[in-house]
C-alpha cells in the first residue's frame, strides 16, 4: 500500500511539475505569440463546435431540411462577400496610415452598415425576385439579409482586437458567442414543431445580433463619427479589386452546394454537405500543420536554406497522405456518426473530397513562394482560372451525374490549381532565385500518385470488403507506430 501511495504521489508531483513548466513557458511568451495562439485556438474550437453539432442537427432535421440549411450557409457566405464586401481587409493598411485607430474602426464599421442598409433596401424592393433566385423560403431570405448587417460588425471588431493583441477580449467574445449560439440554436430546434431551419437560423441571429449591438455601442463610444469620406474611399478602392480573388476562392470551396441545389434536390445538397462536413476534420489537421510549417517555410525561403526545407516538405506530404488514407478508410463509420443511416450513400464522395484536401494543401507551398516575392497577379490568375473551370465543369457534369460529380470537378480544379501555381512558381524561381529550385517536385508527384492509387483501392473496399478495409487500417496504424519518432521529427520543423 505504501509503495503504491508513493508511486501515485510521484506521478502527481511529476504531472504538477509539467503543468507548472507549461504555465511558465506560456507566461514567458510575447504578447504577439499569445495573440496568435489564442486566435488559432478560437478558430479551431469554432470549427470543432460546428463539426460536433453536425451529428445532432442531421438527426433533428429531415434530409431536405438539412439541405435547405446548407444552402442557406452557402448563400450567406456569398452575399456577405459580394454585398457586405470584405472591408475588414483594409483595416491593417488604414491603421498604418492613420494614427487614430478608433476613428478608423468607427469609419469602416459605418461604411459596412451603410452598404448593408443599401442592399437591404434593394432586397425589400426586389424581395419576390430575390426569393426565387435564392430558391429558399421567404423567412430564411429575410433572416439572411439581417445577418448581413450584424456579422461584419463582429468581424471588424475582431480584426481590431487582433491588431492590438487584445486576445483576452477576442477569445471571450468569440468563444462565448459560439457556445451560446449552439445552445440557443439547439434549444430553438428542440422546442419548435415546424420550420426547424428558420428557428435554427433565427436563434443564431438573435445571439450574434445582441453581441453586434454591444460591440457597435463600444465602437461608437470610442469614436462617434461613423462617416469619414477619405477612409471610405480608400477602403472601397482597396477592397473592391480584391473581390475577384475572394470570389474565386468561394467558388472553389462552396459554390458546388449552390449548383447542386439548382440542378438537383435539397436532399442531394444534404448528402453532399454531410460528406463535406467530413472535410472539417481534414482542415483541422491541415490548419494544425500549417500553424508550424508556414513560419518555418517562410524563414527557410528567406534564408535560402532549401536543403532542409525540401525534405521536410516531402515528409509533411507523406504524413498528410497517410493521415488522409486513414480517414478515408474510416469514411463509412464517420458518415454514420455525422448523419446516420439515411446519409450512407454520401460515402462515395469521401475519396475525391480527401484527395481535394491533399491537392489544395499542395498548391499552397508553391503559392506561398509567389506570395513571399509579392507576385499578386500570379496568385489571382491561378485562382480565377480554376474557379472558372469549376463553374464550367459543374454545369456540364452535375446535371448528368448528380451531386457526386461536384466532388470530382472540385478535385480536378484543385489539381489544375497545383499545375498553374507550379508554373508560376517556376517563373518566380527564375526571376527571383536565379533559377534555383526549392522543392523536389518528382518526389511530390510520386507521393501524389501513390495516394491516388491507394484511394482507388479504398474505393473498392467500400462496396465489397469491410474486413480488407479494417486490415488496411491496422497496417497503416502499425506503420505509424513504428515510425512515430520520425513523424515527431518531421512535425517539429527544427
The predicted structure's pLDDT at residue 300: 77
Per-residue pLDDT of the chain (494 residues; tens, 9 = 90+): 555 555 555 555 655 665 666 667 666 666 666 666 677 677 777 777 777 888 888 889 999 999 999 999 889 988 888 888 888 888 878 887 888 888 888 999 999 999 999 999 999 999 999 998 888 889 999 999 999 889 899 988 888 887 777 778 888 888 888 889 999 999 999 998 888 999 999 999 999 999 999 999 988 888 778 888 998 998 898 888 778 877 887 888 788 888 998 898 889 999 998 888 777 667 777 776 766 677 777 777 777 777 777 787 888 888 888 888 888 888 888 888 888 888 888 889 989 988 988 898 888 888 888 877 777 788 888 888 888 999 999 999 999 999 999 999 999 999 999 999 999 989 988 888 777 788 888 888 888 899 999 888 888 888 777 788 888 888 888 877 877 777 666 665 55
The predicted structure's pLDDT at residue 365: 83
The predicted structure's pLDDT at residue 391: 92
3-state secondary structure at position 320: helix
Quick check: pTM over 0.75? Answer: yes
The predicted structure's pLDDT at residue 313: 80
Burial zone of 238 (CB within 10 Å; 0-12 exposed, 13-18 middle, 19+ buried) = middle
Q: How far apart are CA 266 and CA 72, in angstroms?
A: 11
Alpha helix segments (H runs only) across 126-166: 127-134, 138-163
Burial zone of 121 (CB within 10 Å; 0-12 exposed, 13-18 middle, 19+ buried) = exposed
Residue in the block written with cell 480488407: 468
Q: Rounded to the nearest 5 degrees, what angle is found at the Cα of 358, between the Cα atoms of 352 and 360?
A: 100
Q: How far apart are CA 455 and CA 397, in angstroms?
A: 22
Instruction: Give pairs for 163-168: CB < 8 Å, separation 24+.
Output: 163/91, 163/92, 163/95, 163/101, 164/101, 165/31, 165/32, 165/34, 165/35, 166/35, 167/31, 167/34, 167/35, 167/37, 167/38, 167/39, 168/38
The predicted structure's pLDDT at residue 212: 92
The predicted structure's pLDDT at residue 400: 93
Amino acid at each position: 500500500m505504501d509503495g503504491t501511495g508513493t508511486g501515485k504521489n510521484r506521478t502527481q508531483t511529476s504531472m504538477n511539475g509539467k503543468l507548472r513548466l507549461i504555465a511558465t513557458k506560456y507566461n514567458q511568451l510575447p504578447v504577439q505569440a499569445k495573440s496568435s495562439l489564442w486566435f488559432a485556438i478560437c478558430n479551431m474550437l469554432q470549427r470543432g463546435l460546428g463539426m460536433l453539432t453536425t451529428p445532432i442537427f442531421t438527426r433533428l432535421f429531415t434530409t431536405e431540411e438539412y439541405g435547405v440549411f446548407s444552402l442557406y450557409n452557402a448563400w450567406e457566405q456569398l452575399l456577405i462577400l459580394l454585398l457586405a464586401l470584405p472591408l475588414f481587409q483594409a483595416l491593417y493598411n488604414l491603421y498604418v496610415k492613420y494614427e487614430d485607430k478608433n476613428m478608423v474602426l468607427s469609419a469602416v464599421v459605418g461604411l459596412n452598415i451603410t452598404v448593408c442598409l443599401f442592399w437591404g433596401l434593394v432586397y425589400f424592393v426586389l424581395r419576390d425576385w430575390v426569393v426565387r433566385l435564392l430558391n429558399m423560403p421567404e423567412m430564411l431570405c429575410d433572416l439572411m439579409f439581417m445577418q448581413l448587417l450584424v456579422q461584419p460588425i463582429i468581424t471588424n471588431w475582431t480584426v481590431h482586437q487582433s491588431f492590438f493583441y487584445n486576445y483576452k477580449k477576442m477569445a471571450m467574445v468569440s468563444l462565448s458567442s459560439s457556445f451560446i449560439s449552439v445552445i440557443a440554436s439547439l434549444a430553438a430546434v428542440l422546442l419548435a414543431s415546424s420550420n426547424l431551419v428558420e428557428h435554427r437560423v433565427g436563434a443564431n441571429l438573435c445571439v450574434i445580433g445582441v453581441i453586434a449591438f454591444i460591440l457597435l455601442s463600444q465602437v461608437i463610444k470610442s469614436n462617434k463619427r461613423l462617416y469619414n469620406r477619405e477612409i471610405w474611399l480608400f477602403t472601397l478602392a482597396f477592397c473592391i479589386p480584391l473581390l475577384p480573388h475572394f470570389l474565386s476562392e468561394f467558388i472553389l470551396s462552396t459554390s458546388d452546394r449552390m449548383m447542386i441545389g439548382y440542378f438537383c434536390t435539397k436532399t442531394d445538397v444534404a448528402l453532399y454537405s454531410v460528406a463535406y462536413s467530413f472535410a472539417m476534420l481534414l482542415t483541422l489537421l491541415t490548419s494544425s500543420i500549417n500553424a508550424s510549417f508556414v513560419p518555418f517555410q517562410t524563414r527557410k525561403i528567406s534564408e535560402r536554406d532549401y536543403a532542409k526545407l525540401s525534405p521536410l516538405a516531402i515528409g509533411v506530404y507523406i504524413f498528410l497522405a497517410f493521415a488522409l488514407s486513414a480517414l478515408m478508410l474510416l469514411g463509412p463509420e464517420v458518415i454514420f456518426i455525422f448523419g446516420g443511416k439515411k446519409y450512407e450513400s454520401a460515402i462515395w464522395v469521401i475519396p475525391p473530397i480527401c484527395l481535394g484536401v491533399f491537392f489544395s494543401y499542395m498548391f499552397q507551398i508553391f503559392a506561398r513562394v509567389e506570395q513571399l516575392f509579392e507576385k499578386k497577379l500570379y496568385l489571382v490568375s491561378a485562382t480565377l482560372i480554376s474557379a472558372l473551370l469549376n463553374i464550367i465543369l459543374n454545369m456540364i457534369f452535375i446535371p448528368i451525374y448528380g451531386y457526386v460529380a461536384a466532388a470530382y470537378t472540385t478535385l480536378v480544379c484543385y489539381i489544375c490549381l497545383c499545375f498553374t501555381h507550379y508554373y508560376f512558381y517556376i517563373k518566380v524561381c527564375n526571376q527571383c532565385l536565379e533559377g534555383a529550385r526549392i522543392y523536389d517536385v518528382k518526389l511530390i508527384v510520386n507521393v501524389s500518385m501513390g495516394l491516388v492509387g491507394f484511394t482507388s483501392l479504398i474505393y473498392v473496399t467500400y462496396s465489397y470488403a469491410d474486413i480488407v478495409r479494417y486490415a488496411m487500417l491496422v497496417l497503416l496504424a502499425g506503420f505509424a507506430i513504428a515510425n512515430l519518432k520520425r513523424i515527431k521529427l518531421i512535425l517539429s520543423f527544427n
